[in-house]
Copies of this chain bind each other. A is one copy, B any other.
Amino acid sequence: MTPIAWIGDAVDAIDTPALVLDLDAMERNIARMAAFARVHGVRWRPHAKMHKCAALAQRLVAAGAAGACVQKTAEAEALAAAGVQDLYISNEVLAPAKLARVAQLARTLQQRGGRLAIAVDSDEGVDRLAAALAGAQSAIDVFVEIDVGQGRCGQPPGPAAAQLGKRIAAVPALRFAGLQAYHGKAQHLRSADDRRAAIAAVLLLVRDTLDAFAQVGLAVPLVTGAGTGSMLHEAASGIYGELQSGSFLFMDADYAGNDAEADQPVFEHALFVKSQVMSRGPRHAVCDAGHKSHAIDSGLPVVHRPEGGLVWRYGNGGDEHGLLHADEGQPLPELGQTVWLVPGHCDPTVNLHDMLVGVRGGLLQGRVEELLRVDARGALA
């Protein structure tokens, strides 16, 4: 495929649509996150389901992160193959063929001085994982996932989770590593009060579960969870030892819609879809970025004008087109004009692209400094 950009090119020369990363903004976001974790005395293990890029996972570790989270076995394999050493599959894996790969990867990472961890939420999950590890001459860290309000995976909080912990601890190749308590939905509540209340409810459930573990005499080394939208509360809880927040790195339009909170670091948009106007009607313009270029599960992208000026409204034009509207009496963009979009949701947007075009010096005067491969793009399995 024709490359969308060359290192050293001016921003203007980047083909469209392209996923462009403002490296300066991203580095400021990393510094803010590192400072936040330091102040709260918690570890951070940013979720690589968002960026899917080994180079970025390693840059985050260099800035102090403990490693990377992933959601899928294939993501873990792709990042490990590109050099990432400390990986946590923060999700359940049930298929025996996939668990054999997990066991293989645990051994590979261990031999390299790295480490693999995984989540479970059922007896069956523990037993199958134990069977896969049995012949693998390696060990793996295992977290018990509890459902703290997300309504998706996870054991109910309390005694059932503690029983699962004991089942793990009874298998020599499985190291009980702690609790995963993640409430993804809470992060997208718009009001700061609602987010605070949702995480307060989470903390009660985690405390109950910690009590249940104490009653069966099993120490819980770590509670892991949280995301960009709610991490202020998990970090301040004294219970969570590790934050999984990933979106702070790029920031999307959805997170930016949350109410601001004192003490919450302000992260900048660092990820943009560069597009171009390729058709003009009397009352609208059409750009070359539709929902094959950006995910729309959390809403349409928002137009961003680095040069200032009026912002057009983006309307759904289907898979390959975006419609641009202006307020009454205001000018539309011209044929051929560059239009920048902030995606509604970073994670599935990055997963549409093979490459991130890293720009230094801003979207107006900057140059392409690096091309970042999205190593785990399409790593679904």
Residues of chain A at the chain B interface (Cβ within 8 Å):
1-2, 4, 13, 15-18, 49, 71-72, 74, 77-78, 91-95, 97-98, 101, 121-122, 124-125, 147, 151-154, 184, 276-281, 284, 286, 288-289, 291-293, 295-297, 316-321, 323, 335-336, 347-348, 351-354, 377-381
**Residue in A101, A279, A295 with the greatest tally of chain B CB atoms within 10 Å:** A279
**10 A-B residue pairs with CB within 8 Å:** A1-B379, A49-B320, A71-B319, A93-B278, A147-B281, A151-B284, A152-B317, A153-B286, A292-B347, A352-B380
Knowing A16-B381, A95-B336, A276-B95, say if A71 contacts B320 (CB, 8 Å): yes
Which residues of chain B are near A153, meaning CB under 8 Å?
278-279, 286, 321
One of B95, B101, B147, B378 near A16 (C-beta < 8 A) = B95
Which residues of chain B are near A15, meaning CB under 8 Å?
95, 97-98, 381
Which residues of chain B are near A17, meaning CB under 8 Å?
380-381
* A17 to B94 CA separation, bound complex (whole angstroms): 13
Knowing A152-B286, A152-B321, say if A291 contacts B295 (CB, 8 Å): yes
One of B4, B71, B352, B381 near A351 (C-beta < 8 A) = B352
* A293 to B336 CA separation, bound complex (whole angstroms): 33
One of B296, B316, B335 near A122 (C-beta < 8 A) = B335
Give the distance to chain B from A316, nearest Cβ to Cβ, in Å. Answer: 8
Give the distance to chain B from A246, nearest Cβ to Cβ, in Å. Answer: 11
B92 touches A278 (CB 8 A): yes
**Residue in A78, A284, A348 with the greatest tally of chain B CB atoms within 10 Å:** A348
* A18 to B288 CA separation, bound complex (whole angstroms): 29
One of B276, B289, B291, B378 near A297 (C-beta < 8 A) = B291
* A122 to B71 CA separation, bound complex (whole angstroms): 46
Which residues of chain B are near A279, meaning CB under 8 Å?
92, 121-122, 152-154
Which residues of chain B are near A101, meaning CB under 8 Å?
2
Knowing A101-B2, A319-B49, A380-B293, say if A278 contacts B94 (CB, 8 Å): yes
B74 touches A1 (CB 8 A): yes
Which residues of chain B are near A13, meaning CB under 8 Å?
97
Give the distance to chain B from A226, nearest Cβ to Cβ, in Å. Answer: 16
Which residues of chain B are near A95, meaning CB under 8 Å?
15-16, 276, 278, 336
Which residues of chain B are near A323, meaning CB under 8 Å?
151-152
- 7 extra interface residue pairs, beta carbon distance < 8 Å, beyond A17-B381, A93-B278: A1-B78, A94-B277, A122-B280, A152-B279, A152-B318, A184-B318, A319-B347
* A4 to B74 CA separation, bound complex (whole angstroms): 10
One of B291, B293, B320, B381 near A2 (C-beta < 8 A) = B381
* A7 to B295 CA separation, bound complex (whole angstroms): 32
- The chain B residue with its CB closest to the CB of A316 is B297
Which residues of chain B are near A125, meaning CB under 8 Å?
335
Give the distance to chain B from A93, nearest Cβ to Cβ, in Å. Answer: 7
**Residue in A72, A297, A347 with the greatest tally of chain B CB atoms within 10 Å:** A297
Which residues of chain B are near A122, meaning CB under 8 Å?
279-280, 335
B381 touches A292 (CB 8 A): no
Give the distance to chain B from A49, nearest Cβ to Cβ, in Å. Answer: 7
